[in-house]
Amino acid sequence: MKFKGKVWKFRDDVNTDEIIPARFLNTQDARELGEHCMEDIDADFPKKVSRGDIIVAGKNFGCGSSREHAQLAIKGAGVSCVIAESFARIFYRNSINMGLPILEVKDLSGIKEGDYLEIDLDKGSVLNLSENRLYKALPLPKFIQEVIRSGGLLKWIKEKKGVKKNAK
């Protein structure tokens, strides 16, 4: 899986209440949630972000509550991938379950807001096209990439059931 997009950079310890404030949790519609994504950090983010853009953050991205609305909001805002130095454990797992591409890169200090990145999840590489600098990460296991490519765990399971039914 490959992605190209503009960087929106965020700090360490962005919590799920900042990704999608609790006052908007009355829906599960990703598009509606995306209209409020990150607005308590940057009120204009939902208006500025474009389909395919990339969130880059520091350490412990997605800390706080375990709600899956955060991943839905990010996807609904049009973000193609989230890269961070580290993720909160439950956010990381929920991202896989919800089909949100994520990648951990230990040092992202050379990436600035507005840079353009090319991400290859298969190789675990992040190329900063603006600075011509390559960042490496451990690629996600093929199984996890398959789940994300399917759009999340439930969709992946449905696809696999379809394969088994057709194989009989």
What does each C-alpha distance from 103 to 13, 18, 135 come to in angstroms? 16, 20, 11
Q: Would you say the pTM of this structure is higher than 0.75?
A: yes
Q: What is the pLDDT of residues 2-12, one digit of tens each?
A: 999 999 999 99
Half-sphere exposure of 114 (CA within 13 A, CB side): 0
Per-residue pLDDT at 167: 54
Per-residue pLDDT at 138: 84
Check whether 168 has a pLDDT greater than 60. Answer: no
Average pLDDT over residues 117-129: 96
In angstroms, the CA 84 to CA 44 distance is 21
Average pLDDT over residues 29-58: 97
Check whether 56 has a pLDDT greater than 60. Answer: yes
In angstroms, the CA 160 to CA 34 distance is 29
Q: State the pairing for strand pair 116-120/54-57.
A: unpaired
Q: 104: how many CB neighbours lie within 10 A of its CB?
A: 18
Give the pLDDT band (50/70/90) at residue 152.
very high
Give the pLDDT band (50/70/90) at residue 163.
low
Give the pLDDT band (50/70/90) at residue 92.
very high
Per-residue pLDDT at 161: 83
C-beta separation of 4 from 46 below 8 A: no
SS3 call for 11? coil
